């Protein structure tokens, strides 16, 4: 086995192991250190009213051996098929023995180029097909490693009204909260449907949102590369200019970052609402109030967030005349 910059390139890299740490660190701060050391050194500085994580510290944590190890284990647990390079997840550890040092070096230098994603379609519960982009196993692991570090940073600011793809939050909690609102007399629901949300997210707006919290320019550059990863369709690679690659480990976090802006707007207006990913229900006391809300909020979503509200599927109605997360909600609860 070979020891290089704190990483042991061997088959059991993805098992917990103790390693000696160097006492002297290069001044460029880009070497890989242990995850525990890097986390201790993760610093936050005040920039006006916002916190920005220092750039070099984030990359240290993302590329630390224990964070990569955790990412690998999570991707392996999720299973999934191989990407465009045809490498299954079971072969990654063996591949990493030969290529791990080169991969980490590219990521450190900012020269890494993600591979394209493979398009797959799965049936939606209510009909139609949902398009998924399947990254390679290597890119899934890198994205998972990024998500593991960024999630705690954003969790501190995400709304209490948001339940999708967040630690210790789930769909049943969202349904319970929605049921509470209905039981309080807010039996009219503004059911907002965002048209092909993952396909139309504006890259520039998303990257600006990320840059207000994250000061790590190489990391931001890497995330933009992932957003723009090409899609392989019938043997032809097409470039992506908008949207997030649904099916990747990073897309749930990115979608919550985009829609947190909607959450904050609804909070500032005093609305009672529940959001799970791109499913958002606002609970009001009358049909007239609901009609005003759907017009006003739809305008905010389309004009400010640059997303598209599906007018055909969005509606104002009694809570038991629509479904939220597959359930019907009435004064007695959800079923």
Average pLDDT over residues 195-224: 87
Average pLDDT over residues 157-175: 96
Alpha carbons within 13 angstroms on the beta-carbon side of residue 325 total 22
pLDDT tier at 125, thresholds 50, 70, 90: low
Alpha helices (H) along 122-215: 137-155, 171-183, 197-200, 203-211
Confidence check: pLDDT of 112 > 90: yes
CA pair distance 277, 249, nearest whole angstrom: 14
The per-residue pLDDT for 227 is: 87
Strands 231-233 and 117-123 come out as parallel
Minimal CA–CA distance to 38: which of 46, 50, 30? 30
Paired strand residues for 276? 279
Q: Within a 10 A sphere around the Cβ of 227, how many other Cβ atoms?
A: 22
Question: Would you give the DSSP letter of residue 242?
Answer: S
CA pair distance 88, 227, nearest whole angstrom: 23
Place of tokens 């070099």: 56
Q: Is 221 helix (H, G, I), strand (E, B) or coil?
A: helix
pLDDT tier at 118, thresholds 50, 70, 90: confident
The per-residue pLDDT for 230 is: 57
Q: pTM of the prediction? A: 0.81
Give the sheet arrangement for strand 231-233, strand by strand. Answer: 129-134, 117-123, 231-233, 236-238
User: Taking all residues of the chain, what is their mean pLDDT, rounded to a whole number?
Assistant: 82
The rounded percent of the chain whose pLDDT value lies above 90 is 62
The per-residue pLDDT for 165 is: 94
Q: Within a 10 A sphere around the Cβ of 160, how many other Cβ atoms?
A: 9
Q: For residue range 271-285, what is the model confidence (pLDDT) as tens digits?
A: 999 999 999 999 999
How many whole angstroms from its chain centre is CA 204? 16
Alpha carbons within 13 angstroms on the beta-carbon side of residue 242 total 10
CA pair distance 7, 138, nearest whole angstrom: 17
Confidence check: pLDDT of 17 > 60: no
Copy the structure tokens of residue 248. 């990747």
Burial of 255 (0-12, 13-18, 19+ CB in 10 A): buried
Paired strand residues for 236? 233
Confidence check: pLDDT of 289 > 90: yes
């Amino acid at each position: 086995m070979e020891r290089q910059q704190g990483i042991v390139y061997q088959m059991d890299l993805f098992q917990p192991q103790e390693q000696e740490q160097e006492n002297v660190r290069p001044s460029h701060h880009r070497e890989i250190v242990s995850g525990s050391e890097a986390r201790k050194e993760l610093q936050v500085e005040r920039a006006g009213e916002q916190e920005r994580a220092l750039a070099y510290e984030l990359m240290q944590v993302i590329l630390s051996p224990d964070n990569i190890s955790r990412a690998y284990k999570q991707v392996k647990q999720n299973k999934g098929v191989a990407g465009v390079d045809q490498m299954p997840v079971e072969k990654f550890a063996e591949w990493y023995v030969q290529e791990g040092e080169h991969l980490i070096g590219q990521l450190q230098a900012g020269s890494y180029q993600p591979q394209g994603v493979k398009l797959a379609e799965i049936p939606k519960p209510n009909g139609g097909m949902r398009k998924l982009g399947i990254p390679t196993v290597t890119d899934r692991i890198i994205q998972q490693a990024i998500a593991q570090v960024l999630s705690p940073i954003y969790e501190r600011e995400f709304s209490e009204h948001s339940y999708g793809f967040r630690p210790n939050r789930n769909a049943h909690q969202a349904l319970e909260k929605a049921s509470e609102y209905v039981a309080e007399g807010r039996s009219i629901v503004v059911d907002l449907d965002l048209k092909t949300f993952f396909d139309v997210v504006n890259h520039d707006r998303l990257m600006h949102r990320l840059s207000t919290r994250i000061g790590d320019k190489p990391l931001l550059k890497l995330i933009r590369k992932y957003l723009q990863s090409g899609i392989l369709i019938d043997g032809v690679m097409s470039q992506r200019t908008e949207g997030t690659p649904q099916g990747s480990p990073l897309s749930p976090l990115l979608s919550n970052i985009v829609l947190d802006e909607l959450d904050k707007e609804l909070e500032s207006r005093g609305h009672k609402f529940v959001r799970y990913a791109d499913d958002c229900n606002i609970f009001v006391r009358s049909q007239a109030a609901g009609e005003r809300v759907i017009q006003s909020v739809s305008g905010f979503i389309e004009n400010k967030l640059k997303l598209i509200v599906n007018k055909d599927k969005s509606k104002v109605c009694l809570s038991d005349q629509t479904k939220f997360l597959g359930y019907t909600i009435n004064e007695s609860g959800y079923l």
